[in-house]
Amino acid sequence: MFEVRVPMTSANVGCGFDTLGMAFQIYSVFTFEKNEKLEFYGFDKQFCNENNLVYIAFKKALEYLNKPIIGVKISVKEQAPIARGLGSSATCVVAGIYGAYLLTNTEINKNEILKIATEIEGHPDNVAPAIFGNLCASCSVDGNPYNVQYDVDERFNFIALIPNFETKTEEARKALPKELNFKDAIYSLSRLGIVLKSFENYDTEILKNILDDKIHEPYRKLLIHEYDEVRNICESIDSCGFFISGSGSTLINIIKDEKNLNEITEKLKSLKYEWKAIITKVDKKGTIFTL
Ligand code: HSE
């Protein structure tokens, strides 16, 4: 039996729309064991069939490896919150591919896994940090993923503010304009390189001033109830960067002093929706497995 642990991710990070992705120390954990038939354990009933995304990825990877489809028992031990912009589907896809590699004794090749995962997901921005960890900048050219990693300074504390409502990526994409204003594109693009260095150098003052985005956040924040209220609470206490995790509904606030978590949590209680605040650091390992 193999256990596979995959970090949750935010893909996008501020002005890095559809390219920057960050892995956090919040995980989905799955186990895989050879079995006579296909079996699931721990998933909601609706996912206990061949349409389970972990299994779809498992089968796809076996095809890619030219291996026969084998019976498997897939269990979920911990699962990322779904439809909250924390890359839950990426964790399923990456875990399924790892399952196929491990159960067929195939040597793990992260670049190859990125290629298969990108084919399944359609884009590499979540799966790249889920596989490699840290802060990734990725793109796909003619279906081939390209990915580079940036090392985020350990001192950064991220608060994932997870509400009790969902946003669907499909709807969040529909909320985007069909055409992009030239000035807005430059607004975001010109900040990107500096954002990367600020994460590496722990440049909290610069980060606070330049993480902002005009490509997707102005449109998507309208879909997230109490976005302004949550942001105002964070900024009145401790915030050196605030962004929508993926396509929402989770928001990420970067704080300097982890002791400020309690005050933020207290203030969030005054809001109408329920906001769960989880403090975390960047994950540096990406996907790992144990026997
Ligand atoms: N970058 C994508 C988006 C990620 O923002 O739509 C969604 O998973």
* Rounded percentage of the chain residues whose pLDDT exceeds 70: 100
Whether residue 31 contacts residue 10, with contact meaning beta carbons closer than 8 Å, is answered with no
Does pTM surpass 0.75?
A: yes
The SS3 of residue 252 is strand
Whether residue 8 contacts residue 23, with contact meaning beta carbons closer than 8 Å, is answered with yes
d(Cα 232, Cα 254) in Å, to the nearest integer? 13
Tell whether the model's pLDDT for residue 198 goes beyond 90.
yes
80 falls in which pLDDT band (50, 70, 90)?
confident
Pocket of ligand 1 contains residue 261 by CB under 6 Å: no
Mean pLDDT over each residue of the chain, to the nearest integer: 97
Pocket of ligand 1 contains residue 249 by CB under 6 Å: no
Tell whether the model's pLDDT for residue 169 goes beyond 90.
no
Q: What is the mean pLDDT of residues 67-81?
A: 94
d(Cα 14, Cα 212) in Å, to the nearest integer? 6
Q: What is the mean pLDDT of residues 268-275?
A: 98
Q: What is the mean pLDDT of residues 175-194?
A: 97
DSSP state of 236: H
Pocket of ligand 1 contains residue 126 by CB under 6 Å: yes
Tell whether the model's pLDDT for residue 182 goes beyond 90.
yes
Q: Which atom of ligand 1 is nearest to the CA of 85?
A: 8
Please give the angle made by the CA atoms of 176, 52 and 61, to the nearest 5 degrees.
90
Which of 10, 18, 121, 171 to mutate for ligand 1's pocket (most ligand atoms within 8 Å of CB)?
18
The SS3 of residue 57 is helix
d(Cα 270, Cα 30) in Å, to the nearest integer? 36
| 203-228 residue pLDDT tens | 999 999 999 999 999 999 999 999 99
Nearest in space to 249 (alpha carbons), one of 271, 276, 268, 270: 276
Tell whether the model's pLDDT for residue 60 goes beyond 90.
yes
Which of 9, 17, 249 to mutate for ligand 1's pocket (most ligand atoms within 8 Å of CB)?
17
From the CA of 67, how far away is ligand 1's center (Å)? Answer: 32
| 104-117 residue pLDDT tens | 999 999 999 999 99
Q: What is the mean pLDDT of residues 231-238?
A: 98
Tell whether the model's pLDDT for residue 132 goes beyond 90.
yes
* Residue 217: Cβ within 10 Å count: 22
Pocket of ligand 1 contains residue 285 by CB under 6 Å: no
45 falls in which pLDDT band (50, 70, 90)?
very high
Pocket of ligand 1 contains residue 125 by CB under 6 Å: yes
The DSSP secondary structure of 132-149, one letter per residue, reads H-SEEEEEEETTEEEEEE
Within 8 A by CB and 6+ apart from 269, the residues are none
From the CA of 215, how far away is ligand 1's center (Å)? Answer: 12
Q: What is the pLDDT of residue 240?
A: 97
Q: What is the mean pLDDT of residues 124-132?
A: 98
